[in-house]
Amino acid sequence: MARGAATKKGQHLSVPEMQGLIDQLFACSIPFQSPSGRQCFLTFTLEDIEKKLSS
């Protein structure tokens, strides 16, 4: 059900729609995982990005 209602790749959203999705995500009890247990996003430090770009 969640996949069917999900935002499709290439779909354009307004700023309020994007903010609403972020607010809903962080209102979840486990915002870092999908219902299937997969990681939703990755967090990189500035140092991580610099290492990847310099190699």
- Contact of 43 with 35, CB cutoff 8 Å: no
Q: Is pLDDT of 3 > 70?
A: no
Determine the pLDDT at residue 4.
63
Residue 8's φ and ψ, nearest 5 degrees, are -85, 150
Determine the pLDDT at residue 10.
86
pLDDT in tens, 7-55: 788 888 899 998 998 898 889 888 888 878 888 888 899 999 999 998 7
> Distance (Å, rounded) from C-alpha 35 to C-alpha 38?
7
pTM: 0.52
Q: Is pLDDT of 1 > 60?
A: no
Structural domain boundaries of the chain?
Answer: 14-54
> Distance (Å, rounded) from C-alpha 26 to C-alpha 14?
19
